[in-house]
Structure 1
């Protein structure tokens, strides 16, 4: 399992519209192969700042399966106009800290 983490900055004044568009876009990402779960968090200290966390079975499920799909085009249409600046996407893997 990998964790996609994205810090998002939404254009000022469009937060409510963004959240509604994200609700619609959630059905797109959740239908993709390799998708496990996702969460959107609103920052309490900075207006318009969000954290998106998506769990995928493999890195390729996100970078190839989702990003190269026709469904991604609809995701982009719904969400990308809200971002300024455009976000950087990073991927993480769990570190086994309990290994003997």
Structure 2
């Protein structure tokens, strides 16, 4: 499994609308082959800062399957205007994992 991580800096004053639109956008990403789950988390220390975590079965499920899909165009239209600066997206693989 691959974890996509993106730090999202939302333009001040647009946080609430971003959160609402993000809920709507979930239907686009979750419809893609290889999608496992995602979560959006809000930073406690810095206003307007979020982290997006998405689990994919493979890297290509995100970089090709999602990013080259019609669903991505809808995701982009709904969310990309909120970011300043535009997020850097990185991918991670699990080396060690331990549950509760």
TM-score under structure 2 length normalisation: 0.95
Unaligned runs of 5+ in 1: none
CA gap 1:33/1:97 in 2 versus in 1, 3 angstroms: closer
1:54 equivalent in structure 2: 54
2:20 match: 20
The 1:61/1:97 distance shift into structure 2, 3 A limit, reads: closer
Structure number, greater radius of gyration: 1
Q: TM-score, normalised by structure 1?
A: 0.95
Q: Does 1:4 align with 2:4?
A: yes
Which ranges of 4 or more aligned residues in structure 1 deviate by more than 4 Å? Answer: none
